[in-house]
A and B are shown apart, each in its own frame.
Chain A
Amino acid sequence: MEKTVNHKAWFLVLPVLVLVAFSAVIPLMTVVNYAFQDTFGNNVFFWNGLGWFEDLLASDRMWNALGRQLAFSGIILAIEIPLGVFVALNMPKRGVWASVVLVLMSLPLLIPWNVVGTIWQIFGRVDIGLLGYTLNSMGISYNYTQNPVHAWATVVVMDVWHWTSLVALLAYAGLQSIPDAYYQAARIDQASRWKVFRYIELPKMMGVLMIAILLRFMDSFMIYTEPFVVTGGGPGNATTFLSIDLVKMALGQFDLGPAAAFSLMYFLVILLISWVFYTVMTNLDKRG
């Protein structure tokens, strides 16, 4: 759409600007403030320069958490995106059954995150959970509270359970926008199922899939509540992702300086990767 140049449009954006400035800029400035200062208590602060950043970059703690975080986001993207597309391809197109499927699929998305954690914490327990009990009676000594591999598997399966529907719904929305004529043309050309997917469905889904990848990346990179409820970051530090580590530092140990420096770097990493996705996305938007 052609847009008119109108600088008065700023007035329409003003309420949002004021509100977001209050709830984002002021708190963020506090973080910046702490990141460069040190204190011995009593609200007396002195300049510490880049000290906290140097400490953090030299210690293993943040690097390990970042590594775990990248591994986690990578794994769940590798599972959820293909699985979501596969589910979307098999979803019924119309009718009552389609509505039922849509509502049931959306259900996990609307469960409070700590309840998601609780559900899987119970489900995986060896004594009272269906999953843990069944696995153990099949002779697999599954125990997510002690075995790091099992803890990872549980957290990953939980995330797949929680969010694959989002990817599927997005891909489904993309598929719905393909006119029937495309499929008819493909049938006349005797295109194989794979070719229909590769040359018709996939290109049409690209735009929404980018949104799916962007959303899933951002949210998985900030994940806190669900793994915290299920494993508490353990066993050991096996599932201590960036947010869990940060909250431990900021609200648990009240290490304001390091926590603030940690926050800033954390935010910058997300910002950087998201910016790449966003640029790709807007370019796709332009191509239509």
Chain B
Amino acid sequence: MQSRTRLNGSTVVITLYLLFLMLPIYWLINMSLKTNSEITGTFSLWPQTLTLRNYVVILTDPSWYMGYVNSLIYVVLNTVISVAVALPAAYAFSRYHFMGDKHLFFWLLTNRMAPPAVFALPFFQLYSSVGLFDTHIAVALAHCLFNVPLAVWILEGFMRGVPKEIDETAYIDGYSFPRFFVRIFMPLISSGIGVAAFFCFMFSWVELLLSRTLTSVAAKPIAATMTRTQGASGVDWGVLAAAGVLTIVPGALVIYFVRNYIAKGFALGRV
């Protein structure tokens, strides 16, 4: 009897918490399906006249949907670069002692602590001077600032869990380091790679300050495009809400794939 009442209590707590999380999101979806006159004119808990006009506006106008394409391009670029360079480094940190390793590890982490606001202006000048301003690769490289340290940290946590005997056996069997790493080691930590990629994707996707500062037209991210809805005739609330809903979709999709590892990933592989 006692366990049942406790179970019910837990369900109530979780339901209330999820309700708190979902209400603002529901309100955004609700608004995205309304006409602008309904949004500003009446107060309704669900759309009285259902309309897809707001989504049509976004999906038919290149200056809108290219925002999503641009964001996805630099996010994917950044994820690939971050994981690729972080893999060997994480291996070194998890397996070897070398001169200055502890200091190096903390120095890497300090970059995760660096406020993007500090780097906005120097990045702008740096990438302008090398002619990379307003390109996808500039944003991808800039996001490496916080994603590479994070990827190293997560991967190192996962690699620690792989016994060292596996490496030694492989070397005795005559595997060279690159072949061992790609053929044997990477499959062993595939879930760690997945989680690291997920986190790079996530933090690059949600960041606005740097991506907005480093782009103007050609690589403009969706987040910056959204400020367009503030026109001379007031705010186009419907389109703004629809654009917001569409930015949630990619996140929701990738989250589904890593749902079983997400808790471990947030613990940076240290559980």
Known: A3-B97, A110-B202, A270-B115. A16 touches B270 (CB 8 A): no
A90 touches which of B14, B226, B255 (Cβ 8 Å): B14
Q: Are B267 and A113 in contact (CB under 8 A)?
A: no
- Near B by CB (< 8 A), chain A positions 1-46 give 1-10, 12-13, 15-17, 19-20, 22-24, 26-28, 30-31
Q: Are A113 and B98 in contact (CB under 8 A)?
A: no
Bound CA–CA A201/B120 (angstroms):
42
| Contact partners of B267 in chain A: CB under 8 A | 170, 173-174, 208, 211
Q: Which secondary structure dominates chain A's binding surface?
A: helix
Residue-by-residue, is B71-93 near A (CB-CB < 8 Å gives 1, otherwise 0)?
A: 00000000001001110110111
Q: Which secondary structure dominates chain B's binding surface?
A: helix
Instruction: Please name the residue on chain B nearest to A88 by beta carbon.
Output: B263
Q: Are A107 and B251 in contact (CB under 8 A)?
A: yes
- Near A by CB (< 8 A), chain B positions 199-255 give 202, 205-209, 213, 222-223, 226, 237, 240-241, 244, 247-248, 250-252, 254-255
Instruction: Tell yes or no: A62 within 8 A of B by CB.
Output: no
| Contact partners of A107 in chain B: CB under 8 A | 21, 25, 248, 251-252, 255
Q: Are B24 and A123 in contact (CB under 8 A)?
A: yes
Known: A103-B255, A111-B251, A222-B115. A90 touches B9 (CB 8 A): yes
Instruction: Please name the residue on chain B nearest to A83 by beta carbon.
Output: B17
| Chain A: minimal CB distance from B58 (Å) | 14
Instruction: Please name the residue on chain B nearest to A246 by beta carbon.
Output: B117
| Contact partners of B22 in chain A: CB under 8 A | 104
Instruction: Tell yes or no: B50 within 8 A of A by CB.
Output: no
Q: Are B98 and A251 in contact (CB under 8 A)?
A: no
Q: Are B120 and A251 in contact (CB under 8 A)?
A: yes
Known: A92-B14, A128-B40, A224-B209. A122 touches B237 (CB 8 A): yes
A19 touches which of B10, B85, B106, B270 (Cβ 8 Å): B85
Bound CA–CA A30/B231 (angstroms):
37
A16 touches which of B121, B152, B209, B268 (Cβ 8 Å): B152
The range of chain A's interface size is: 35 or more
Instruction: Tell yes or no: B57 within 8 A of A by CB.
Output: no
Known: A24-B111, A107-B248, A161-B24. A266 touches B118 (CB 8 A): yes
Instruction: Tell yes or no: A256 within 8 A of B by CB.
Output: yes
A-B contact pairs, 20 of them (CB 8 A): A5-B97, A13-B88, A16-B148, A24-B145, A30-B126, A107-B248, A113-B208, A115-B248, A118-B28, A119-B27, A128-B31, A129-B27, A130-B24, A169-B266, A174-B271, A208-B270, A247-B117, A250-B117, A250-B120, A266-B117
